[in-house]
Amino acid sequence: MAETPKRITVPAIRAMKGEKRIGMITAYDYPSAKVADAAGSDIILVGDSLGMVVLGYADTLSVTVDDMLHHTRAVARGAARAIVVGDMPYLSYHVSVEESVRNAGRFIQTGAQAVKVEGGKASRIRAIEAILDAEIPVMGHIGLTPQSVNALGGFKLQGKNLDDARRLVDEALALDQAGCFSIVLECVPSELAAMITERVSIPTIGIGAGPSCDGQVLVFHDLLGIYDGHQARFVRRYANIADDMRLAIEHYLNDVRNGSFPDDQKESFHAASADDLRALYGEGVVIEMPKAQ
Ligand code: KIV
């Protein structure tokens, strides 16, 4: 029997800063987590991006804690080596510190090893500190934070002007100071990401933040070409799995329609008493099936 790999730890991720680039990917179910884990991902994020790439919403705002826990449970069963990070959805850490801790705890009880929280302003830092105080590792996320899409006016590059860049550097430092074990930097200029990466003591994980980050993350469905919605410029598509899936399904439907699936020998079962059945009902007699209610 294959040995279960040892799981990477939160301190091990912190220790990778400046030593080894961190490879992170999202996953939303058991088979995708198994594949991402077997490929050697260090971190698997159950991202609330599942609202868009799996559930078909236009943004992530409709995703609930229950949606997230359902998917986190499946991913946790599929990932043996990678750290599983549960993405706290919109409103799960915005109402009160107590609610934030309770919601974060539900992710851990579901099988995640850490949670991710968007934003770095003072109210977020208070929630993050309380979650950390409950012994739950937190990954920060600043820059383009999709849960703020309405406030930001769209999915746009952040940190373009000096004031905005300064605010993001301050937020990164605050997340580091609060005790986060890593920070996602989404859709910010490379120069700013490099500056933040140099100034914080924890790994930065970029998505649309250039090559200087300590690690990179991509959405599973973007990387594999499964999602056909808007594709951001920072996505590199490594496959076109949706085309392969469509072709395979077309092939199957064709086989059904031309009668070549299922094969009577390879893909069917035969009664030991086939002759008795024929004797009872006669050749070519159609056996009436009860009608579905
Ligand atoms: O929800 C998500 O998938 C994310 C990543 C893009 C970082 O937050």
Whole-angstrom distance, CA of residue 199 vs CA of residue 144: 20
Whether the CB of 87 sits within 6 Å of ligand 1: yes
Q: Report which protein residue has its CA nearest ligand 1's atom 2.
A: 47
Whole-angstrom distance, CA of residue 79 vs CA of residue 46: 11
Cβ proximity of 100 and 121 under 8 Å: no
Cβ proximity of 144 and 188 under 8 Å: yes
Decide if 186 is catalytic: yes
Among candidates 184, 33, 230, 58, which has minimal Cα distance to 112? 33
Strand partners, 44: 25, 84
> Burial, 7: exposed, middle or buried (Cβ in 10 Å; 0-12, 13-18, 19+)?
middle
ω before 262 within 30° of 0 (cis)? yes
Q: Report which protein residue has its CA nearest ligand 1's atom 3.
A: 47
Q: Report which protein residue has its CA nearest ligand 1's atom 4.
A: 47
pLDDT exceeds 60 at position 257:
yes
Whole-angstrom distance, CA of residue 279 vs CA of residue 293: 31
Residue 152: predicted pLDDT: 95
Of these residues, 135, 171, 186, 288, which one is catalytic?
186
Q: Which two tokens stand for residue 80?
A: 């043996």
Cβ proximity of 112 and 85 under 8 Å: yes
* pLDDT classification of 273: cutoffs 50, 70, 90: confident
Whether the CB of 182 sits within 6 Å of ligand 1: no
- Three-state secondary-structure class, residue 182: strand
Strand partners, 114: 85
Each residue of 3-36: pLDDT tens digit?
778 999 999 999 999 999 999 999 999 999 999 9
CA angle 255, 261, 263 (to 5 degrees): 140
Whether the CB of 184 sits within 6 Å of ligand 1: yes
> Burial, 83: exposed, middle or buried (Cβ in 10 Å; 0-12, 13-18, 19+)?
buried
Each residue of 105-151: pLDDT tens digit?
999 999 999 999 999 999 999 999 999 999 999 999 999 999 999 99
Whole-angstrom distance, CA of residue 226 vs CA of residue 242: 5
Q: Which two tokens stand for residue 161?
A: 């002007």
Whole-angstrom distance, CA of residue 202 vs CA of residue 176: 7
51 sits in which H/E element? helix 50-53
Whole-angstrom distance, CA of residue 83 vs CA of residue 145: 22
Each residue of 168-197: pLDDT tens digit?
999 999 999 999 999 999 999 999 999 999
Distance 84 CA to ligand 1 centre (A): 13
How many residues in the chain?
293
DSSP state letter for 183: E
Our measurement of the distance from residue 237's CA atom to the centroid of its chain's CA atoms, rounded to an integer in Å, reads: 16
Residue with tokens 């599983």: 84
Distance 47 CA to ligand 1 centre (A): 5
Whether the CB of 219 sits within 6 Å of ligand 1: yes
* pLDDT classification of 272: cutoffs 50, 70, 90: confident
